[in-house]
Structure 1
Amino acid sequence: MKLKQWAAIAATTATLATFNTQAADVTLRFAHPWPATSAIHAGLEEWSDSLTEASDGRIGVEIYPSQTLSKAAASYDAVTSGIADVTATVQGYTANRFPLTQIIELPGMLNTAAQGSCALQNLYDEGALGNEYDETHVLFVYTNGPGHLHTRDQKVTTPDDIRGMVLRRPTTVVGALMEDLGAQPTGMPAPDIYQSLQRDLISGVAISWDGAKIFRVNELANYHTELNLYSLSFVVAMNKDVYQSLPEDLKAVMDDHSGMKWSQHMAEVFDELDKQGRAEALQTGDTVVDLDDTIRDAWKPALDRVTEEYLSSLEASGLPARETYQRARSLSERCREI
């Protein structure tokens, strides 16, 4: 084979995965949906580099960004089935699988990723999320900052403004809210948003400022209404068998790279991206509608209603929804100043 052909193959392979595996006893395949150029990828790479360094090179990590090893919606299943060894993914991509976890995603639960991640990690550590993660070995959980409404051609201030609009919903709870208000919600992973907006398949999107920046929503949306509609929860999970197969000293390294420290590490990444995403929209001359008392009051009945409907649906399934909700709110308040 010609030298140029070998070089082309090597270059292609380098774009698919970030390798850190020299002389490793075990190599972990780490799948996530964010672009390799994103700050979120860089944050996850810092975790993997620290893991390799702490294990003296005995744990290597191959990072597969941009859905190159598994599609975003299938990432958690990819870990349970052994396609990937580790994933960072959104719980909401698999509907009804993490109902207690997604209580943290309800409207108004948090103001920053640091606050939400602190509350969610504590909920998990306390055992308040039941058996939702029994299929994997959870390393840490976290949230992003609040999600808002970003539209291309129409400014939104009141619930009536979204009637008839086709909007990307990030979660089923937000989808229920949109439908209740007369919009047409449609679900899709964040990497698919840009093309859908570009092709006029949707009028707008509910997403956080970090997502608006990373997935280039700011390039197409002209109006941004800060509503604190929801947040997203995330999990970094590992295949159970792979974890159990590690010698005790390497399990200890994995354990040291789990929990609140790394939850807050990723929260810091998201909070910084939120600042950058908002500033980017303002710099390009977009209209940003602040969440003032008038807008908050206009939306509050609808947001309260969707929260009540979600909690009632969980209770009907026999889950301790209100107990978990009250604990989440208490933790969120305690984590406010973190």
Structure 2
Amino acid sequence: MKKFLQQTALAAGLMAVGFGVHAQTITLKVHHFLGPQSIQHTTMMGEWCKNIAKDSNNRLQCQIFPAMQLGGTPVQLFDQTRDGVVDVAWTLQAYTAKLQKLEVFELPFMMTNAEATSRAAWDYAQKFAADDMKDVKMLAVHVHGPGNIYTKSKAVTTMADLKGLKVRAPTRQVNKMIAMMGATPVAMPVPQVTEALSKGVIDGAVIPYEVAPGLKVQELTNFTAETDRSYNALYTTVFVVPMNKAKYESLPADLKAVIDKNSGREFSAFLGKTQAGQDVPSKQAFVDAKNQKISVIPKTELENWKKATDSLDDAWVKEMTAKGMDGKAMLDGATALIKQYTK
């Protein structure tokens, strides 16, 4: 009897230990380069963290670190995730050279809307860029809403108005587009835009409405040029949400399933739709600003802009093909996927 009781106690103890390990809370470190008031912090990654907590009965938690609080620079975010410095990051494709295949979505006039194009970007990434993402567990690939042109000294209503202006652009392809339309592109991360505008380093910038008020663009410029929203967007930017692969693989099967449920095409679409959705309230800051004049570039003028920059598509295909890839299949695949998801 005594032996039986000892065995029962031992079994109960082992079960308790097993349950304790199973029920242990795992906190993921999430890192990004924008501020704590940004939509990326509060809603995009914030909602993801709430969802994985809910779906895991709070066994998965997040601690989100904004504004590079864990150190490093924005261009290091992908590597920080790959190397396990952080568990999850939200960052730009443009900061991650090895993800250049995703750049196709940043070509001029590719995007229809952010939700559809984000779904397309996720599917495209699985087909054409899976090998480039193999060192991480990719959770999402998405884009932002249509970019606008903000200028200090004169309104932009035609392509000729851009001539001679120094304009901040976010990515390699957008820099090329700006140059082809007559402006001088100035590459810089988005947090530097405020100081660059205030010191006259640049005459204007191209960014979506969503991020502009946080940079005080409505105060530092006087003119906003939107493109006709029934036409494909002037440009967009690709973002990625990588997770440390070893961290993901260390999770028990049921928690891996929680991560899987909250990643992929629909998470990508949510991020794109949410970020683009912030364009509406953010635009109000420009409507309310007494110094701002907002104009819309009509389709007829945008056709001229498209013709002037169409060769960028061919140049990108040629560049990818020279690196041993099927550049045409990649461009055609991205275009077809955007069309498939656009309603």
TM-score (structure 1 length as normaliser)? 0.87
Residue identity matched to 1:321: G
| Cα distance in structure 1, aligned partners of 2:216 and 2:50 | 27
Residue identity matched to 1:270: Q
Do the aligned residues in 1 keep the contact of 2:119 with 2:269 (CA within 8 Å)? yes
The residue aligned with 1:9 is none
Cα 1:130/1:50, change in 2 over 3 Å: closer
The residue aligned with 1:53 is 54
Do the aligned residues in 2 keep the contact of 1:169 with 1:185 (CA within 8 Å)? yes
Residue 95 (structure 2) aligned to one of 87, 93, 96: 93
For residues 112-169 of structure 1, give each alpha carbon's deviation from its aligned partner in whole angstroms, at most 9, with x where no partner exists: 21121111122134x2224221221101111111222111222122333222222111
The residue aligned with 1:290 is 296
| Cα distance in structure 2, aligned partners of 1:303 and 1:145 | 20
Cα 1:198/1:128, change in 2 over 3 Å: same
Q: Which has the higher helix share?
A: 2
For residues 261-281 of structure 1, give each alpha carbon's deviation from its aligned partner in whole angstroms, at most 9, with x where no partner exists: 222221221121112233332
Residue 278 (1) aligns with residue 280 (2) = no
The residue aligned with 1:245 is 250
| Pairwise CA distance, 1:259 | 1.1
User: Matched residue of 2:128: which SS?
Assistant: coil
Gaps of 5+ in 2: 1-22, 228-232
Do the aligned residues in 2 keep the contact of 1:31 with 1:84 (CA within 8 Å)? yes
| Cα distance in structure 2, aligned partners of 1:208 and 1:321 | 28
Residue identity matched to 1:141: V
Residue identity matched to 1:226: E
The residue aligned with 1:11 is none
Residue 259 (1) aligns with residue 260 (2) = no
For residues 238-280 of structure 1, give each alpha carbon's deviation from its aligned partner in whole angstroms, at most 9, with x where no partner exists: 0111111111111111111111222222122112111223333
The residue aligned with 1:269 is 274
Do the aligned residues in 1 keep the contact of 2:106 with 2:238 (CA within 8 Å)? yes
The residue aligned with 1:79 is 81
Residue identity matched to 2:179: E
| Cα distance in structure 2, aligned partners of 1:139 and 1:296 | 34
User: Matched residue of 1:60: which SS?
Assistant: strand
Residue 235 (structure 2) aligned to one of 216, 230, 233: 230
User: Matched residue of 2:42: which SS?
Assistant: helix
Q: What root-mean-square deviation, in Å, do the aligned CA atoms of Structure 1 and Structure 2 show?
A: 1.8
The residue aligned with 2:108 is 107
Residue identity matched to 2:263: S
Equivalences for residues 205-224 of structure 1 within 5 A? 205-224=205-224
The residue aligned with 2:321 is 315
Which region of structure 1 is more displaced relative to structure 2, 73-82 or 304-313? 304-313
User: Matched residue of 2:153: which SS?
Assistant: coil
Residue identity matched to 2:84: G
Residue identity matched to 2:201: L
Gaps of 5+ in 1: 1-22
| Pairwise CA distance, 1:64 | 0.3
Do the aligned residues in 1 keep the contact of 2:48 with 2:262 (CA within 8 Å)? yes
Aligned residues: 313
Identity %: 29
The residue aligned with 1:66 is 67
For residues 57-113 of structure 1, give each alpha carbon's deviation from its aligned partner in whole angstroms, at most 9, with x where no partner exists: 22121100122124222111111122111001111123x422221101111112321
| Cα distance in structure 2, aligned partners of 1:317 and 1:130 | 16
Residue 336 (structure 2) aligned to one of 324, 327, 330: 330
The residue aligned with 2:11 is none
| Cα distance in structure 2, aligned partners of 1:39 and 1:255 | 23
TM-score (structure 2 length as normaliser)? 0.86
| Pairwise CA distance, 1:230 | 1.3
Do the aligned residues in 2 keep the contact of 1:75 with 1:87 (CA within 8 Å)? yes
Cα 1:97/1:289, change in 2 over 3 Å: farther
Residue identity matched to 2:215: F
Residue identity matched to 2:79: D
User: Matched residue of 1:100: which SS?
Assistant: helix
| Cα distance in structure 2, aligned partners of 1:180 and 1:264 | 31
User: Matched residue of 1:56: which SS?
Assistant: coil
User: Matched residue of 2:297: which SS?
Assistant: coil
